[in-house]
Chains A and B, each alone.
Chain A
Amino acid sequence: MFKTIRARLKQGYRTAPFPAGISVLPQRYLGKPIVNPGHLGCDRQACVDTCPTGAIGSVGGRTVIDLGKCIYCGACQKTCGGRVVTFTRDYRMACRQRQGLIVSDEPMPDTGQIRDRIRHIFGKSFKLRHVSAGGCNACESDINVLGTLSYDLGRFGIQFTASPRHADGLVVTGPVTNNMRLALEKTYRAIPSPRLVIAVGACAISGGIYVNHAESNKGVDSIMPVDLYIPGCPPHPLTILDGLVSIMRG
């Protein structure tokens, strides 16, 4: 008994403040990338070629990077010393529209709102069901960690439930393997409407590196409508938390 109390005192209070400052992230962390205007004089071809998921391309003549495809390996930044793409340490990357994940060298329009009616219905409580559909256990781990006392997801009114019947939304990780597709669809249908779908990680958003695989699909929105995209490989827990909390904020 005394030992338990002594341990409690030693371990201390560890719940981190949120929103967190960038200082809590490691120096070498690769957060939201930006495309530098005019590529600082660099021919962007090397970056395009080196990207393992084809995340760098061009739209309407402008160079863009698709955060939904990016696996944050930093190969492009390394190739040309960051002249085309530079990774910032900004962890806030979640977006309501797929289109909003495509970053160019000019500010993107506002990324849209969660349907007001739904937000009104959910109020201050938001219950989620998670399904891993080919996730490698990295996204899963970084969602799980939100339940630890470091992040304490419950303080925001967000909880993961054990049953889809109790859930307001579905969190999906992985590219959606063929073998998991049916179970994912059944879980979705088991959640009473209105319901939100949240895709976490590059695989769930775009298929990631598995995009060309016959055994898997090209992410969650190839199967069902997605209301929130949280990019990363895996996303930092703060990125996921920021995304989930953004739903509560509306």
Chain B
Amino acid sequence: MGDNSLKTRICQPIDVNSIDCLAFKEFKDSVLDGFLKGFRAAAFFGLPADNGQVRLIMILACDRQGYLRILSTMVKDSYPCLTTQAPQVHLFEREIFEQLGVYPKGHPWLKPVRSHVPYQPQTVTAGGRDSLLGVDFFKVQGMETHEVGVGPVHAGIIEPGHFRFQCHGEQVLHLEVLLGYQHRGIESMLFTKDASPAIHYMETAAGDTSIGHCLAYCQAIEALSACEVPLRAQVIRAVMLELERLANHTGDLGAMAADIGYLPASSYCGRLRGDLLNMTALVCGNRFGRNIIRPGGSAFDIDEPIRTEIRKRLKSVFSDVSNAVSLMWSSPMVVDRFDETGFVSQQTAVELGLVGVSARACGIERDARFDFPAGAFRFFHIPPSNYSSGDVFARAFVRWLEIQRSVEFILERLRCLPKGPIMSDMPPIKNGKAVVSLVEGWRGEICHFALSGEKGGIVNYKITDPSFHNWTGLAVACRGEEISNFPLCNKSFNLSYCGHDL
């Protein structure tokens, strides 16, 4: 990739005008060249511009060196798609088409992402937008094939989504995931007249990742207003982020055990997850970390009694988690069911741009806490935890490795909290700036992009939940599997429906 793109770091406000608008060919060549050199698409979206045009913005991340490149081009109603050469942008191109009506010519599977009303009057006229959207499912035909549809309502207490399997006997030949049922229209409402305060949308964008999304939002807003968060608050935020990870990873391991009928680990981990959520509630009163991460710092302090109590509880909970998880690893039945189930190769993971646990379980070193550190992670590193087998076992084992590292991190941080205030004043947001904020939530990289207007205020905000990258990973993991392994594969990814649907 040449010098035609803007090099930046996370949480670094950049002048909107410094993002050059490239000719489309140059844009495409640079992006594809970037992918070849190991960059990946952290986000790709369109911003409405003058004269019915749309400005495409591509945020490329270089994990190894911890920097970003932002490229931009102007399109009108169509452009030759990138998906055929770079599968990782396939869902982004569908999203841009659905929201803004820009047609990615040659896109192999153009369908709605969330099935909502477009953000602006559609510019595509040839045959209308709907004629371009193939709403049917991919079908495998033949005498011995059959189709299984599951959802949107599922047999448990979970969010809605539709899964369409093409099967040959018990074997899954293809899985297509249809989402959008959870679409509440967060992005299009954010910062509008009738909207609720943005922080509450962040808390519920994916309600099990309240800390992660709020942190990404606050980092973006703080960068735009040049607010320096007090060190004590930075450490508290990092501790809360790791508590959120601990609770969810522990719950996931229990849920995976439940899906193969291994009840001891499932019961213990289910209970322990609750204990970990209660630790979050000890700090902020809410089990899901609501009301604590606020622009400028932390709304709650970890005072001496709470600090001591968390350290005490965490040691005891960790001892029980280790006990429950070690049962799993020592059971040949568990290991046999996890091994080689739901395999995703490292090459596929790279091509699809997977993030988080799903990527690290394919041996990819990719962890925003380490690659793009912000806040306390700049001073206290957590090395990425990898395992290379790419199967359910790897996704379970990476979670277990991360549990150990997070516990270590929290205990160490709480051994001696930095003194000082927990909240700074927020100066007004600077005009005409853009910023990218990355946070490694428990599922993976959360990417927020904020753009402030020439007359102040946020005029555009883009949220990319890790699940947006990873749902395709699940679909690929199920290929060739028995259909009865779907729940286990699904749980091993445990992706967010509402984080994807927004």
- List residues of chain A with CB under 8 Å of any chain B CB: 3-4, 7-8, 10-11, 14, 26-30, 52-53, 71-74, 130-145, 147-150, 160, 162-163, 171, 174-175, 177-180, 183, 187, 203, 208-210, 212-216, 233-234, 236-237
Contacts and interface: CB of A to CB of B under 8 A. Distances in A.
A180 B181 CA distance: 5
Given A28-B281, A214-B117, A7 B264 contact: yes
A143 B181 CA distance: 20
Contact of B287 (A14, A140, A142): A142
Interface stretch (B10-18, B193-201, B359-367): B193-201
Contacts of A162: 155-156
Contacts of A141: 207-208, 288
Contacts of A27: 282, 285
Given A10-B320, A209-B204, 12 more contacts: A71-B290, A134-B183, A135-B159, A137-B158, A147-B270, A148-B270, A177-B182, A209-B201, A233-B290, A234-B207, A234-B287, A234-B288
A236 B287 contact: yes
A180 B324 contact: no
B345 interface: no
4 interchain residue pairs of minimum CB distance: A136-B207, A138-B207, A28-B285, A215-B185
A187 to B, nearest CB: 6
A8 B274 contact: no
A234 to B, nearest CB: 7
Contacts of B152: 180, 183
Interface residues on B, range: 35 or more
A8 B189 CA distance: 50
B288 A8 contact: no
Nearest to B279: A26
B248 to A, nearest CB: 9
Nearest to A74: B291
Interface of B: 114-117, 152-153, 155-160, 180-185, 189, 194-197, 200-201, 204-208, 210, 264, 267-268, 270-271, 273-274, 277-278, 281-288, 290-291, 300, 320, 323-324, 327, 330, 496-498
Given A138-B204, A177-B182, A14 B271 contact: yes
B451 to A, nearest CB: 22
A134 B498 contact: yes
Given A7-B268, A14-B271, A160-B157, A138 B208 contact: yes
B162 to A, nearest CB: 9
Nearest to B114: A179
Contacts of B184: 134, 175, 177, 210, 213, 215-216
A134 B182 contact: yes
A213 B189 contact: yes
Contacts of A148: 267, 270-271, 273-274
A130 B284 CA distance: 28
A179 B194 CA distance: 21
A11 B156 contact: no
Contact of B281 (A8, A29, A136): A29
Given A136-B207, A179-B114, A26 B300 contact: no
Contact of B286 (A72, A134, A177): A72
Given A11-B324, A175-B184, A209-B196, A132 B278 contact: no
A140 B274 contact: no
Given A28-B283, A52-B200, A73-B290, A137 B183 contact: no
